[in-house]
Every structure is written in structure tokens, then in C-alpha cells.
A and B are shown apart, each in its own frame.
Chain A
Amino acid sequence: MKQVWNIAKRELSAYFDSLMAYILLILFLGFSGFFTWIYGSDIFYIKQATLVPFFNIAFWTLFFFIPALTMRMLSEENRSGTLELLLTKPVSNWQVVMGKFTASLLLIAIALLLTLPYAITISAIGNLDAGQAFSGYFALLLFSAMYISIGLFTSSFTKNQIVSYLMALFIGVFFQIIFGMLSMNAYGFAGRLLDYLSVATHFQSMTRGVIDSRDLIFFLGVSFIGLVLTEAMLIKKRFA
């Protein structure tokens, strides 16, 4: 646990040293604020005291931002050779992966924390459903965890950050829309499976305020698979 935190700490300070963190926070707050309050199907347009417009925007902004956070985490270490140094320190591969994962998730958590004024403002102008708001934030965290682990995985097998970013988007887009679209035209088991693999299904039910174990299992399951595959890529380097 201590080692995971040591690595996470270094990654976090790398985010803030390289301005990456500030850029992400500003863009995220800017985009989500703009579409929650000012433009499109914003809060005043739908005339309901709810965070759902914000959650729906974050659903897309995070989808694009998270790969940008994770793209350099392992690819840069591959390129510069620091991975060799890191893996010969007394840390396990799993600790390295978890440390990096934790750092990204913490940064996302900070970003989400900074949107709390939205919730406070909305609860001041109307009757905000606290349970639904909580469940929605929780969904965003789980959603982020899943894309972080996918991003880490795509970062682990290349030395090129752009390749890593695009690969993460490529894998992500299946979960984000393609599975959902396919499920509309598929029936029976295949239809149910595709529907289960679609992020939107789980995300929407959670932002409605329902926390179902099926949804938890989906997000945690995909995250876990991503992390295990990332670890496998690190182990593979020893057998190169």
C-alpha cells in the first residue's frame, strides 16, 4: 500500500509539474460548466434542479480527457528507459500499475470535487435529490476508473504517447457507443451481452440514482481486466 502511494505521489507531482493537471482541470470545468449552465440542454432549459445535464456532459469530456492523462504514464517510461529503473526497485509490477492508476483517479476525483459548487448552487435554487447526485458522482468515478485502466493498458505497449491516446480512444469508443448501437439491432443473448457491455446502460441507470450490483460489477470488472492486462504487459518485458 505504501509503495502504491509512493508511486502515486510521484505521478501526481508529475501532473502538476508539467501543467497537465491544470490544463485538464480548467478544460474540464470550462466544458462541463458551459454545457451545464449556459448552452444546449442546460439546467435552465430543462427547468429541473438536477445534476443530470452535468453528468451527461462529463460522460463525454472525461471520455476524451482521460486518455490524455494516461497516455504518457507508461509509454514515456518505455521510451526513456525509466521503466527498467523503476522495475528494478523493490516494487512489484502490480504496485507500479496501481500507483499510476491511483494517481490518475485522484486527479479525476479532484476535478469532480471542484464541481461540487454546481451541486450546492442547484440545491439552492431547487430541490436537489441528494441520493441521485451522490450516485451520479459515484458513477463518474467508476466510469473514470474504467477508462483509466484502459488508457494505462494502451500506454503499456507503446513508446509513443499519440499511439497510446488513439488506441485508448479506439478501445473506448466500443464501450462508449458501438456496443450500445449494436445492441439495438441484436436479440437474445447477443443483444443482452452487447447491452451489458455498453457503458451508457450502466451510467444512465446510476445517474438516475440506482446503484445496482450489475453496474458495479461491470465498471470494476472492466477496470480490473485493464489493470491485469497492463501488469501482464510489464511482466512480458522480463521475457522479451
Chain B
Amino acid sequence: MDIVVENLTKSYGTQKAVNNISFKVKTGEVLGFLGPNGAGKSTTMRAITTFLNPDEGDIYVGNYSIKTDADKIKKSIGYLPENNPLYEDMPVIDYLRFVAEIHEIPRADIEDKMINVIATCGLEKEKHKKIGELSKGYKQRVGLAQALIHSPEVLILDEPTVGLDPNQIKEIRELIKKIGRQKTVILSSHILAEVEATCDRILIINKGKIVADGKTEDLRKQTQGKQLLKVRIPDANMNEAFEALRAIDGVVLVDITDKEQRIFEVQGDHEKDLPRAVFETCVKNNWVITQLTPVETKLEDIFMKLTSG
């Protein structure tokens, strides 16, 4: 099921949480929703799950609008809200049965579905414990299990890996990737590495507006534009080396980052083979290169650039 968000606007009082957002997510796509805290991620997700009514705009899940067919949409969505609210005094297995029943899964299938989802989320050992007694990681799994039990076509996960240890994070990411092949998944996070690891596409949102949208790779290139090299030439004379590097065809800027260590930062066009040119220049001058590192523009930089100010 595709999700289409059209001109979504939602205000709390005078503050616009989401301001005229539009985007589309296709089936089989894992969309990462990225933004600083309070950017409007949760609000958008709540609107998609029909929990919040938008002030303006509309959202379509499949062919259904949240305004007229909320009931149908609710059936095909699995939702893990922020902070993972659960009925703490219920045993895991009773809770999952309750969710299965409320999704109107036929009685005969409930057991199978429960066994399935308990296995997928690794809850076998904990299934008879009360949810309140579980550790945060296991609670998170219960939250995921309740979102998955009715095999929804759309998964909305609001910060799914908060509070998990690195191993669990890895497991959950793999799970999301696996699920994401057949389903439409939207997950939010303010951790970049997470989105980078799990998502095909990234949507960066800031102050209620979309500031970037695209494949992880494309986003990099888009903001990168130039390539950056870190070069260390210990034997060379500072000025000579500086001039020589500047003279290379395609180099736009040379910076001396460390005079003692003789480290330069060379910035150049993307089309040119900059490392090779730098190497050849040094060979010609008989300088030994002890370091030649391409500096990759990280997603962090893109994120900071887009969401600051």
C-alpha cells in the first residue's frame, strides 16, 4: 500500500507542528523520518495512523483517505507509538491475544499468528511475564509484536530502537529490513546511523517542513558537490607544497590544517580524479605522502547543515 501525504498541516494552539508537508511512500520502501526533537515527526505519524486529525490536507493509505475511511486504514496499519505505551499489568501473551482479537483475526488463526510473532520478536522466554516486569528492550519487542501481529501492510514505527542495547538494535534493524521488503514502512529517528542502516529513503524534517528528501546516496551527493582530501606531506616546504597543490587542475581550495604536521585539506571538483592528481604532483616533487584520506561528507553534516539556524 502506498502512502500519500498531501499538504498536511497541523497546529497545536498557535504553534505549527507540521506545516504543509507532502510526500509519498511506495510499497516495499522503508522511509526514514529524520529530524531534531520537536520537528513534527510524531505529529505526522499520528496523522497517518488516524490518531490526529489534520487541520489541512489529507492523507491516503492505499486508496483510502484518513478523513472518510479511517476504519479501513486502521486495519492495515501496525503502529508503534513514541515511548511504546503498553498495558503494564498484563502478561505478554494475554496482551498479544487482546491485540489479535481487536484486529478481528479469526479465532482459528490467532494461535498461529501469536506463535509467529512471538518467535519473530524473540519473546519465547518472556511471554508469560507481566509486561511491567520486562526490561526496556523486551518491552520494545512487545511493542513491535503488537504492531506486527495482524501482518499489516503498513508499519509506522516511532523511534523503534530507543533504549535498546547495540545487539538488540541490530536485530530490530534487520527485522525492519526484512519486513520492509514487502511492506511500506515509515520509521522515525533522530539517530542518523539508524536511518542510514535501515532505510532506502530519507526524509529530513525541521520545524514542520521537509528540508530534504531522497535516497541516502543522492542526499550525500546533493550536499557534497565537492570532494575533500586530507593530505600529509611531512618533507615538503609549506609554501612550495601549498602552491603545488593549488596548481593542480580542478583544485578549488587548499587549506593548511596543521603546520607542524604539514597536513593540507584539498577541495576539488567531483569530476576530476583528485587523489591521483595529488599523488602525481607529489611524486614529481619527490615528496613522500604519509596520509591521503578522502573526507566523506557524512550524513551528520548534511543533517546539521539542513536543520541548524
Contacts and interface: CB of A to CB of B under 8 A. Distances in A.
A91 B85 contact: no
A17 B90 CA distance: 8
Interface stretch (B27-35, B69-77, B214-222): B69-77
Given A13-B94, A90-B104, A85 B79 contact: yes
Nearest to B12: A240
Interface string A85-101: 10111111000000000
Contact of A14 (B83, B90, B104, B146): B90
Contacts of A85: 79, 81, 85-86, 146
Contacts, number: 66
Interface in A56-85: 80-82, 84-85
A66 B88 CA distance: 23
A90 B71 contact: yes
B83 A2 contact: no
Interface string B254-284: 0000000000000000000000000000000
Contacts of B101: 6
A238 to B, nearest CB: 4
Contacts of B46: 84
B81 A238 contact: no
A192 interface: no
Interface residues of B, number: 29
A82 B46 CA distance: 13
A6 B53 CA distance: 26
A90 B74 contact: yes
A238 B52 contact: yes
Contacts of A238: 50-53
A7 interface: yes
Interface string B42-67: 00001001111100000000000000
Contacts of B51: 84, 87-88, 237-238
B74 A88 contact: yes
A88 B49 contact: yes
B23 interface: no
Nearest to A79: B85
B79 A88 contact: yes
Chain A at the B interface: SS class: helix
Nearest to B85: A81
Nearest to A6: B101
A17 B89 contact: yes
Given A84-B46, A85-B81, A10 B98 contact: yes
A81 B81 contact: yes
A19 B11 CA distance: 42
A239 interface: yes
A240 B104 contact: no
Interface in A1-28: 2-3, 6-7, 9-10, 13-14, 17-18
B99 interface: yes
Contacts of B86: 80, 82, 85
A21 to B, nearest CB: 13
B102 A90 contact: yes
Given A17-B90, A239-B53, A84 B85 contact: yes
Given A85-B79, A89-B74, 11 more contacts: A2-B104, A6-B98, A10-B90, A85-B85, A87-B51, A88-B51, A90-B75, A91-B102, A238-B53, A239-B53, A240-B52
27 contacts: A3-B104, A6-B102, A7-B102, A10-B90, A13-B90, A14-B87, A17-B89, A17-B90, A80-B85, A80-B86, A81-B81, A81-B82, A81-B85, A82-B86, A85-B79, A85-B81, A85-B146, A87-B51, A88-B51, A88-B81, A89-B74, A89-B102, A89-B103, A90-B103, A90-B104, A238-B51, A240-B12
